Structure 1
Amino acid sequence: MSDQSRRRSQAIMGGLAGVLVFVVLAIVFFVVRSGGDDEKQPAATGTATTQEAATPSPAGSTSAAAQPDAGAPAGSLSPELSKEPDVQPGTGGPLTKLVVTELVKGTGPVVKAGQTVTFNYKLIPYKGGEVVDSSWSRGQPFTSPIGVGQLIQGWDQGIPGQRVGSRLQLDVPAALAYKEEDLRFVVDILAAQ
Structure 2
Amino acid sequence: MPATPSQQGVDDVSERTQENRSEGQSPATKAGRRLAAQLAAQKAAEAKRRRQAWAGGIAGIAVMALLIGGFVWIDSNRDDKPSNASGANPSASAAAPDAPTAPPAAPAPQLPAGADPALGSKPTVKAGTGELKKLTVTPMIKGTGPAVKKGQNITTNYVGVFYKDGKEFDSSWNAGQPATFPIGVGQVIPGWDQGLVGVTVGSRVQLDIPGELAYGNDEAQAGGRPTGPLRFVVDVLAAQ
- State the SS of the aligned residue for 1:188: strand
Cα deviation digits, residues 41-99 of structure 1 (max 9, x gap): xxxxxxxxxxxxxxxxxxxxxx653314xxx4xx3221010010000110001x21100
Query: What is the CA–CA distance in structure 2 between the aligned matches of 1:128 and 1:183, rounded to whole Å?
Result: 10
Aligned length: 125
Which letter maps to 1:144? F
Cα deviation digits, residues 101-149 of structure 1 (max 9, x gap): 0000111010001000000000000012421000011111000000000
2:155 to 112, 118, 141: 118
Query: What is the CA–CA distance in structure 2 between the aligned matches of 1:84 and 1:90, rounded to whole Å?
Result: 18
RMSD: 1.2
1:13 counterpart residue number: none
Scaled by the length of structure 2, the TM-score of the pair is 0.50
Query: What is the CA–CA distance in structure 1 between the aligned matches of 2:237 and 2:116, rounded to whole Å?
Result: 10
2:183 counterpart residue number: 146
Matched, 1:65 2:108: yes
Matched, 1:155 2:192: yes
Counterpart contact for 2:135–2:191, Cα < 8 Å: yes
Off by >4 Å, runs of 4+ in structure 1: none
Rg larger in 1 or in 2?
2
- State the SS of the aligned residue for 2:154: strand
Change in Cα spacing, 1:150 to 1:64, as seen in structure 2 (3 Å) is farther
2:238 counterpart residue number: 191
Query: What is the CA–CA distance in structure 2 between the aligned matches of 1:154 and 1:162, rounded to whole Å?
Result: 13
Counterpart contact for 1:64–1:135, Cα < 8 Å: no
Gaps of 5+ in 1: 1-62
Scaled by the length of structure 1, the TM-score of the pair is 0.62
Query: What is the CA–CA distance in structure 2 between the aligned matches of 1:64 and 1:154, rounded to whole Å?
Result: 28
Greater relative contact order (Cα < 8 A, sep 6+)? 1
Matched, 1:127 2:167: no
Kindly indicate which of the two structures has a greater share of residues assigned to helix: 2
Counterpart contact for 1:121–1:136, Cα < 8 Å: yes
